[in-house]
Every structure is written in structure tokens, then in C-alpha cells.
A = this chain, B = another copy of it.
């Protein structure tokens, strides 16, 4: 019997592609097995469970996203860095909706600790170096940026802004301008 050449990495990769095509919630062990023309049971030599597969897809997405953000951030500072960061984030979600959804999966603490989550937090802090904030304002600002980017992208993907003027791109730019102004003028009256 010819072997299909499965590995954990290939499964995660194919699972990520499947997620982008049909949605992360529709990623299922049998569906992935069909892609490799093997039986469902065969995948269980490479993954522990369906949850495990999803977690591996999530880790892959987090790494990819972190790589993109890192590349976008290279050599930039201030508003330039803020915009690059935000756009890298948003573009990834638009190009890879299934992976983006995967990246939101709640991981157990050990897995999360070994993930690219730390790089994300680190890069967000790096953006703020271009602004004149001291602790604890800097941490508050990190959290605010994370919230607004994640929230905006989620709502946009859910179709929240698609059916009315002004278009989503304008709002995105407006928000970035607004955040930049807010951070530059801190502390305010």
C-alpha cells in the first residue's frame, strides 16, 4: 500500500488551506483526510485529536501573522509603523479568513506560552516606542491597540460595515489617524 507521506506539518498546512476555503469551523478530520485520499483513522497517527489539529492550525496562523507583521514593521517608526502593523493584521485576515479565525482559538496556557503570541505582544509594544508614553500608559495603549484592531477586523469580516457608506477603507484610515493623534498628544487635558 503506497504511503501518502503525511506529517503533522503537512496536516496543519492543508488544514489551514481548508480553513480558508470552507471556514475554520468546518475543518474536520474526515474532510482533511479526503484531501490526502486516506481514511479518517490514518490522521490519528499524526494528531492527537480534532482539537489538537485545530490548535496546530492556530499556531501556524499565529506564526505566519507574526512573520508578516515583523516584515511590515522593519525599518518603520511612529505613525508609519502603526499603519504598517494595522494593515498587516487586516490584510492577513482578508486574505486568510480561515487562518485568522484559527488564530482566535483559545489555546490552553502551555500551548499559548509556546506560541507566537509573545511576539505579537512584543511587536505591539515596539510600535509605541515611537510615542512618548510611560508605564502604565504604555500597557493600556498596547491593550487598546490590540482591542481595536481585533475588533475592527472581526466586525469587518462579519460584514458589519459592508452595507453602508462611507466605505470600510475610509473608516480604517480615520481610525488610524485618530489613534496616531491620540497617542502623540498624550497625556491630554
Give A contacts to B, CB under 8 Å.
104, 106, 136-137, 139-140, 143-144, 146-152, 154-155, 158-161, 164-166, 170-171, 174-175, 178, 181-182, 185, 188-189
Contacts and interface: CB of A to CB of B under 8 A. Distances in A.
A100 to B, nearest CB: 13
Give how many copies assemble into the complex.
Answer: 2
Nearest to A112: B159
Contacts of A170: 136, 140
Contact of A151 (B151, B165, B185, B188): B151
A144 B181 CA distance: 15
Contacts of A152: 143-144, 147, 151
B189 A144 contact: no
A77 to B, nearest CB: 20
Contacts of A149: 151
Contacts of A159: 106
A149 B154 CA distance: 12
Contacts of A137: 174
A139 B182 contact: no
Given A178-B182, A182-B178, A151 B140 contact: no
14 contacts: A104-B154, A106-B158, A136-B170, A139-B166, A140-B170, A143-B160, A143-B175, A144-B171, A147-B151, A148-B148, A178-B182, A181-B188, A181-B189, A182-B182
Contacts of A136: 165-166, 170
